[in-house]
Amino acid sequence: MNVAVLRFPGSNCDQDALCSLREDIGVGAQYVWHEEDALAGFDAVFVPGGFTYGDYLRCGAIASRSPIMDAVRRFAADGRPVIGVCNGFQVLCEAGLLPGALMQNASQKFVCDHIWLTVANRSSYWTRHVDRVLRIPIAHGEGRYVADEETLRRVEDEGRVAFRYSGPNGERDPRFNPNGSMDDIAGLVNEAGNVLGMMPHPERATKAILGGEDGRLILAGLSLVGA
């Protein structure tokens, strides 16, 4: 398993992702610059967080039009695993790989916290090992998931919501939703279930010293592919 960790101007969670994947998940990981146009030799793609292109125009908008994203589209269409975290989630939405968009938090504040995440559908590549409520860090100013009514209904009906913000026992309540996301959506997958976008940072929760290891349950699938 060799994971491509994409790097754009303004990515800043790329080192976290690389370390987490190599040291804690135990898979190979290499940086791939946004001007590359191929992903030969890679088995998965990690689109890290950050502030690509200074969030100019819209978060993730410019990065999503980079040459590497055409390669990611082909890669995803082949059914291979792609994960986008935080700004990476915004990039995947802007690239059209996931429906909807991420807007400024309803609170108008940047939130940096640990939240509870409840898995909404365990049948996707990324959620199949998640067997309990997770404690995962968030750090974002624009994480409010929005979609038009029809899209939201489709995403819900097709079981494509991967994670929802919740209480420690999976209870849903607006006070557990840190950004005002519709339907408490924290992460969702594409139709085939191989592309996941999520605002919380699983790669920041794979070592006890970081305050928790729950992120492993999401990234664990990577170490099992090809095994």
Under the rule (CB under 8 A), what is the footprint of another protein?
57-58, 61, 65, 93-94, 99-101, 103-106, 108, 144, 146-148, 151, 180
Q: Which of 59, 86, 140, 142 is catalytic?
A: 86
Whether 150 is a known active-site residue: answer no
Which of residues 4 and 95 has its CB atom nearest to another protein in the complex?
A: 95
How far apart are alpha carbons 90 and 96 in whole angstroms? Answer: 10
Whether 203 is a known active-site residue: answer yes
Which of residues 144 and 216 has its CB atom nearest to another protein in the complex?
A: 144
> 97: closest CA among 160, 21, 49?
160
Place of tokens 């146009």: 37
CB of 101 to another protein, least distance (A): 4
Neighbours of 42 (CB within 10 A): 20
> 159: closest CA among 182, 192, 132, 135?
192
Strands 111-119 and 134-140: antiparallel
CB of 110 to another protein, least distance (A): 12
Q: Which of 13, 59, 140, 203 is catalytic?
A: 203
CB of 58 to another protein, least distance (A): 6
Q: Which of 34, 94, 140, 201 is catalytic?
A: 201
Which of residues 10 and 180 has its CB atom nearest to another protein in the complex?
A: 180
Which of residues 105 and 206 has its CB atom nearest to another protein in the complex?
A: 105
Whether 201 is a known active-site residue: answer yes
Contacts of residue 3, defined as CB under 8 A and 6 or more positions apart, other chains included, come to: 21, 27, 28, 29, 30, 42, 43, 44, 45, 46, 222
CB of 56 to another protein, least distance (A): 11
CB of 184 to another protein, least distance (A): 16
Amino acid at the residue 194: N
> 71: closest CA among 32, 98, 102, 100?
32
Which of residues 18 and 61 has its CB atom nearest to another protein in the complex?
A: 61
> Tell me, what DSSP letter sits at residue 175?
G
Q: Which residues are catalytic?
A: 86, 201, 203
